[in-house]
Amino acid sequence: MHRSLTCLLLAAGAFAARAEPVLYKVDPDHTYPSFEADHLGGLSVWRGKFTRTSGTVMLDKAAGAGTVDIKVDPASIDFGQRQLDNWAKGKDLFDTQNNAAAVYRGRLDAFQNGAPTRVVGELTMNGVTKPLTLEIRTFKCIPHPLFKRDLCGADAYGTFNRDSFGLGYGKQYGFDMDVSLRIQVEALADK
């Protein structure tokens, strides 16, 4: 009886250790926030991405909870057109000389079958902080084939009004200020 109780307690302790929150580091080589924005009041849709992203995700799968802390370098903007990239870094849009990062912080929410389906958070950009909820359309974790640690990936979507962040250039020409986000992210367990 004593031996059975000891085994049960050890098993419970092992389960509890696995159920603790895990810190994941965002993989900058597999994470690219991309966006779609109006050009000239519906003439066309401009698409681009940011190529430098860092951050962490804290995930507790057993509890259905977690947090996200992501930093994006606006100077890494890539429209696929060098002249437009350079203009966007200037004072008329991102003013990267004075705004070195956009930051998104939030909590993972609405877990279904152990996976989050939403991030409720705040975006800070151009010195302004506003609420921004992201819908997680896909979320999956697997053992990394090389590092043998948990690797999670997601595809998240959201929309924000860029004028509310003081990024209103083009409004005078009839540009729609709504920006659609699509964020592919991969993160590797720290240990």
Helix (H, G, I), strand (E, B) or coil at 123: strand
| Residue 177 falls inside a structural domain | yes
Instruction: Kindly state whether residue 4 falls inside one of the protein's structural domains.
Output: no
- The pLDDT assigned to 18 comes to 52
With respect to residue 180, please indicate whether it lies within any of the assigned structural domains. Answer: yes
Is 9 inside a domain boundary?
no
Distance CA(39)–CA(46), nearest Å, equals: 6
Would you say residue 15 lies in a domain?
A: no
Amino acid making up residue 164: S
- pLDDT value, residue 19: 65
* DSSP string over 44-70: EEEEEEES-EEEEEEEETTTTEEEEEE
Q: What is the 3-state secondary structure (H, E, C) of 75-111?
A: HHEECCCHHHHHHHCCCCCCCCCCCCCEEEEEEEECC
> What are the average pLDDT values for consecutive 10-residue runs of the chain, which has 191 residues?
44 52 97 95 95 97 96 97 95 92 97 96 97 98 96 97 95 96 96 85
Q: CATH number for the domain including 108?
A: 2.40.128.110
Query: Residue 109: which domain range?
Result: 21-189
Per the domain annotation, does 26 fall within a domain? yes
Separation CA 113–CA 123 (nearest Å): 27
Supply the pTM of this predicted model: 0.87
5, part of any domain: no
Per-residue confidence (pLDDT) for residue 191, from 0 to 100: 85
The backbone region for 41, taken as left when phi is positive above 0, alpha when psi lies in -120 to 50, beta otherwise, is left
Residue 16 belongs to a domain: no
Q: What total of structural domains would you count in the chain?
A: 1
